[in-house]
């Protein structure tokens, strides 16, 4: 469907055309008319589907239709991270380029100067405020931040905000807003607790669900069945076997990110880390170095799985299997974007096999299981359905129970001759403390 068919005015259409857009995505085509009708809305769509424009465009249109002399905030967008707040604000500024609408992003981790700049934005007048929960509360407690004219509340990536423990903060912010307002909730996943929150905040909402997209066909997916103590040497092997310009390694814990980054640096690999323990300025600096190619390997938590706009990533490695199957799709969706190809490797320990089987059911495909390099010794057998290993491991790292798939070597050549005679170290699971 064309944007022109969605009820947007000429000014907004000029901005859309200037940015090179013409056709609306499914979430945009369904959400924009409902938002223009002042309906509350629950939108379930994964990252990369255009949901930011799905709520920004109609919000801009509504602000243009009903000009206000007040310099108070009219629209509030709450999101989980600084990176996403900055990204949303950049899109807001692009779409409102031909208007007088003012927007500002507020987020934690800045210095006194940034707080002063944010304060001045409130004082001078801003129509749209985009921020993280903690910083919105900090400003909301001050007299200069008046939220009494907020007409529209938008919760973006609501599932991540709940995962990060922001429920109480969100409800505290909501308590400062007018009771009569439009509410829009967007989430990549829709667990029961999101629906519970939606019932408290939304009034007879329309619901839009865009089915989770399967991984792009251009992503070459591969899995390695390993013992925990084989993960570090395998990561080193994968990153040094051939030179790569851009790699993201996802870990499920901040402590693992820190340990792995230190190990990679000791091995001479140009790597850096991003996780929520780091100062926001440092996170942004690291991300900019990764975008520019100064940092080749970015080790991160799921903080960069969504809401981070980085193209040309050659390889994504899941050091840990995500417990949420949908997170796998978001992680590997960082590669093979636009017209590029990419690869996604996942390291599966015995205790992670059940979670990976859930992923294979979600994507409706069996991911090939590759043989380990011979120097790593034996690999566990694979029996994802039960999450247990069966029988004795075979030598040479050849996983069992993979349904005949996973019999190709990592280099793509067929196996010939006898397997490597190297024996296992005898320590099958020496998981280091994270």
pLDDT tens string 34-85: 999 999 999 988 766 789 999 999 999 999 999 887 889 999 999 998 888 9
219-397 to CATH, choices 3.40.50.300, 3.40.1190.20, 3.10.450.50, 3.20.20.10:
3.40.50.300
Residue 366, both tokens:
């069996």
- Quickly state the pLDDT bin for 136 (edges 50, 70, 90): very high
Domain(s) labelled CATH 3.40.50.300 in the chain stretch across: 3-209, 219-397
pLDDT over 80 at 310, yes or no: no
pTM above 0.75, yes or no: no
pLDDT over 90 at 179, yes or no: yes
Report the alpha-carbon distance of residue 187 to residue 79 in Å, rounded: 11
Q: What is the pLDDT of residues 191-250, one digit of tens each?
A: 788 889 999 999 999 999 887 667 777 789 999 999 999 999 999 999 999 888 899 999
pLDDT for res 211: 73
Which of 98-107, 163-172, 234-243, 296-305 is predicted with the least confidence, judged by mean pLDDT?
A: 296-305
pLDDT over 60 at 307, yes or no: no
Asked if the 3-209 domain carries CATH number 3.40.50.300, the reply is: yes
**More confident call, 243 vs 356:** 356
**54: burial class by Cβ within 10 Å (0-12, 13-18, 19+)?**
buried
């Amino acid at each position: 469907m064309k944007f022109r068919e969605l009820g947007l005015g000429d000014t907004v259409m000029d901005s859309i055309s200037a940015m090179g857009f013409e056709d609306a995505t499914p979430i945009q085509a369904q959400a924009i008319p409902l938002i223009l009708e002042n309906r509350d809305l629950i939108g379930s769509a994964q990252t990369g589907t255009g949901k930011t424009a799905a709520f920004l465009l109609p919000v801009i249109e509504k602000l243009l239709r009903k000009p206000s002399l007040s310099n108070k905030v009219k629209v509030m967008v709450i999101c989980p991270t600084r990176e996403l707040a900055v990204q949303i604000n950049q899109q807001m500024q692009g779409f409102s380029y031909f208007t007088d609408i003012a927007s500002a992003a507020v987020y934690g981790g800045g210095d006194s100067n940034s707080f002063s700049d944010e304060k001045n934005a409130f004082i001078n007048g801003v129509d749209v405020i985009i921020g993280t929960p903690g910083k919105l509360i900090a400003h909301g407690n001050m007299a200069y931040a008046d939220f009494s004219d907020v007409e529209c509340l938008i919760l973006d990536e609501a599932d991540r905000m709940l995962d990060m423990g922001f429920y109480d903060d969100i409800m505290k912010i909501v308590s400062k807003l007018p009771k009569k307002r439009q509410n829009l909730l967007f989430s990549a996943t829709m667990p029961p607790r999101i629906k519970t929150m939606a019932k408290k905040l939304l009034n007879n909402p329309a619901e839009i669900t865009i089915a989770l997209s399967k991984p792009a066909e251009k992503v070459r997916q591969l899995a390695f069945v390993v013992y925990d103590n084989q993960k570090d040497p395998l990561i080193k092997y994968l990153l040094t076997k051939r030179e790569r310009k851009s790699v993201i390694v996802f870990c499920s814990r901040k402590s693992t990110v820190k340990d792995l980054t230190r190990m990679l640096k000791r091995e001479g690999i140009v790597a850096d880390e991003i996780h929520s323990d780091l100062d926001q300025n440092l996170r942004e600096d690291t991300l900019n170095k990764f975008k520019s190619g100064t940092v080749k390997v970015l080790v991160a938590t799921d903080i960069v799985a969504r809401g981070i706009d980085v193209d040309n990533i050659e390889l994504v490695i899941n050091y840990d299997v995500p417990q949420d199957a949908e997170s796998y799709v978001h992680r590997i969706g960082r590669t093979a974007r636009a017209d590029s190809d990419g690869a996604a490797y996942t390291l599966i320990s015995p205790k992670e096999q059940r979670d990976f089987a859930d992923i294979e059911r979600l994507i409706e495909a069996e991911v090939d299981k590759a043989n380990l390099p011979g120097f790593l010794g034996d690999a566990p057998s694979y029996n994802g359905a039960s999450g247990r290993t069966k029988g004795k491991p075979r030598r040479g790292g050849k996983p069992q129970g993979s349904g005949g798939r996973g019999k190709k070597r990592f280099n793509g050549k067929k196996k010939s001759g006898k397997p490597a005679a190297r024996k296992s170290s005898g320590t099958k699971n020496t998981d280091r403390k994270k």
